[in-house]
């Protein structure tokens, strides 16, 4: 009996060691890979994955289109290299990516090698703080000319996307200030905060002192404020204290968030929001939506990009122009193919071909400028500036002049515990 118990215990120890081997390997691979060039990573990937199956999971379906380009790049080194990736790029629905990753990493059979993932709040609390996902920053990325490292390095961002304030310009209303979108009578079109968590992260970030200060400055310049608004801001000091929020101007950001949640008209997707706003029947309507949706507008007698105005593109606009969220790239700690994952991440983040699937459209910005395409004249037709709203002013403009509210995973995770039910209480009772 004692011998049997000893054998069982030994087997259990071996299984435990085996289950954690890939985790240790992935972490060790990252340490080595961060000192290698892209070509060196390509060679390691060829050694590791030639003829094997590669699986990944991502919030963006465009990931599957980069895999054949990646294989072509490796075949320039080894013409005989093959990779089985058909059906290997999965895109879970309804924010189930976190559950899928957790089950795969903690399970007995590890399938997913890496992920492209969004929602900084859950990434921080469920994936980074737990060590389930591992961050990898390529050497070529760190050494690239003009790379935007702030808020893009930990975790590593593939791209920054923007959602911006727009309004139908065929009516009589004007929107020259961020507070105009929450004034009495407004019902801005917006995806629900629980159906798309990055929208909730935006509202969390509005309580950060940087953005709360912008809200205060815009409020002081707003000609639409009244005694009720003043009273609300004063009341928000108490709410801020209850929520554990600090900062000299936090009540301004919190008041704007309160009014926004109270007024927005919940929609299921940004596509329908865009299709509504560009119509002739949408006079005096406004919304907060993905900027790149304008690329898909079909010009008709009833709908045109020229029927909307991007609020921040007005010279006299005051306040935030929208918010930015990111797609992050990381390895699973149990990655079956860590070298190949590192090589693919480096390819996606440091080369124009690797980023092409995302860079081909306006409104998505890579930290490495060399990966980007110029969309400053996307509204031109035959050399004529026909649709000015589609002329993307670029990453630097949107972060500085456009004053985008940028997602910070650590900050969102630190305030979400108390703020999430507070936000839900407003939206559920309106």
Q: Tell me which CATH code domain 15-157+326-371 carries.
A: 3.40.190.10
Give the lowest-confidence range in 60-69, 126-135, 328-337: 60-69
Is the pLDDT reported for residue 94 higher than 90? no
pLDDT at 18: 39
Mean pLDDT of 244-270: 97
Q: Which part of the chain has CATH 3.40.190.10?
A: 15-157+326-371, 159-325+380-429
Q: Is the peptide bond before 155 cis (omega within 30 degrees of 0)?
A: yes
Is the pLDDT reported for residue 297 higher than 60? yes
pLDDT at 193: 86
Distance (Å, whole) CA 14 – CA 11: 5
Residue burial 44-82, b: 16+ Cβ < 10 Å; e: rest: bbbebbeeeebbbbbbbebbbebbeebbebbeeeeeebe
pLDDT at 430: 78
pLDDT band at 5 (very low <50, low <70, confident <90, very high): very low
Cβ–Cβ under 8 Å, residues 56 and 115: yes
| Residue among 339, 340, 363, 359 nearest 349 (CA) | 359
Distance (Å, whole) CA 273 – CA 282: 11
**For 363-380, how does the pLDDT look when each residue is reduced to its tens digit (9 = 90+)?**
999 999 999 999 999 999
**For 139-192, how does the pLDDT look when each residue is reduced to its tens digit (9 = 90+)?**
999 999 999 999 999 999 999 999 999 999 999 999 999 999 999 999 999 998
Is the pLDDT reported for residue 1 higher than 60? no
pLDDT at 426: 96
Distance (Å, whole) CA 281 – CA 170: 9
| Residue among 182, 222, 155, 187 nearest 409 (CA) | 155
Answer left, alpha or beta for residue 229, where phi above 0 means left and psi between -120 and 50 means alpha: alpha
Mean pLDDT of the chain: 93
Pick the CATH number of 159-325+380-429 from 2.60.40.10, 3.40.190.10, 3.30.70.260, 3.40.50.620: 3.40.190.10
Cα–Cα distances (Å) from 216 to 31, 177, 219, 256, 402, in that order, read 44, 12, 5, 10, 16
Mean pLDDT of 27-48: 98
Cα–Cα distances (Å) from 362 to 301, 383, 389, in that order, read 24, 18, 11
Q: What is the DSSP letter of 177?
A: B
**For 232-243, how does the pLDDT look when each residue is reduced to its tens digit (9 = 90+)?**
999 999 999 999
Beta strands in 118-203 (DSSP E): 133-134, 157-168, 189-191
């Amino acid at each position: 009996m004692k011998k049997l118990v000893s054998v069982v215990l030994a087997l259990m120890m071996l299984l435990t060691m085996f289950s954690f081997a890939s985790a240790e390997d992935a972490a060790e691979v990252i340490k080595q890979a961060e000192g290698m060039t892209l070509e060196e990573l390509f060679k390691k990937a060829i050694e590791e994955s030639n003829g094997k199956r590669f699986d990944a999971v991502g919030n963006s379906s465009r990931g599957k289109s980069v895999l054949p380009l990646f294989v072509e790049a490796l075949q320039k080194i080894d013409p005989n290299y093959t990779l089985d990736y058909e059906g290997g790029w999965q895109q879970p629905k309804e924010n189930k990516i976190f559950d899928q990753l957790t089950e795969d990493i903690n399970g007995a059979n590890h399938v997913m090698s890496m992920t492209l993932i969004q929602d900084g709040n859950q990434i921080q609390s469920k994936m980074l703080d737990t060590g389930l996902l591992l961050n990898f920053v390529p050497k070529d990325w760190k050494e690239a000319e003009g790379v935007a490292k702030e808020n893009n390095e930990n975790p590593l961002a593939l791209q920054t996307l923007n959602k911006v304030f727009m309004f139908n310009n065929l009516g009589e209303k004007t929107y020259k200030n961020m507070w105009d979108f929450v004034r009495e009578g407004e019902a801005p079109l917006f995806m629900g905060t629980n159906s798309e968590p990055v929208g909730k992260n935006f509202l969390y970030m509005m309580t950060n002192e940087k953005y709360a200060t912008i809200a205060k400055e815009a409020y002081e310049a707003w000609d639409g404020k009244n005694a009720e608004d003043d009273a609300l801001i004063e009341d928000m000091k108490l709410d801020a204290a209850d929520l554990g929020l600090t900062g000299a101007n936090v009540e301004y950001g919190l008041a704007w968030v309160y009014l926004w949640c109270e007024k927005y008209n919940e929609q299921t997707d940004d596509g329908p929001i865009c299709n509504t706003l560009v119509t002739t029947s949408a006079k005096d309507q406004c919304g907060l939506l993905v900027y790149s949706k304008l690329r898909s507008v079909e010009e008709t007698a009833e709908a045109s990009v020229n029927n909307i105005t991007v609020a921040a593109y007005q010279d006299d606009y005051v306040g935030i122009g929208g918010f930015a969220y990111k797609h992050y790239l990381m390895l699973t700690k149990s990655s079956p193919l860590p070298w190949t994952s590192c090589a693919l991440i480096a390819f996606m983040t440091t080369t124009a071909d690797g980023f092409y699937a995302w860079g081909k459209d306006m409104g998505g910005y890579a930290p490495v400028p060399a990966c980007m395409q110029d969309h400053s004249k996307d509204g031109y037709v035959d050399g004529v500036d026909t649709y000015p709203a589609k002329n993307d002013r670029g990453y630097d403009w949107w972060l500085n002049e456009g004053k985008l509210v940028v997602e910070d995973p650590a900050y969102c995770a630190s305030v979400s515990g108390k703020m999430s039910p507070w936000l839900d209480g407003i939206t559920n009772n309106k």
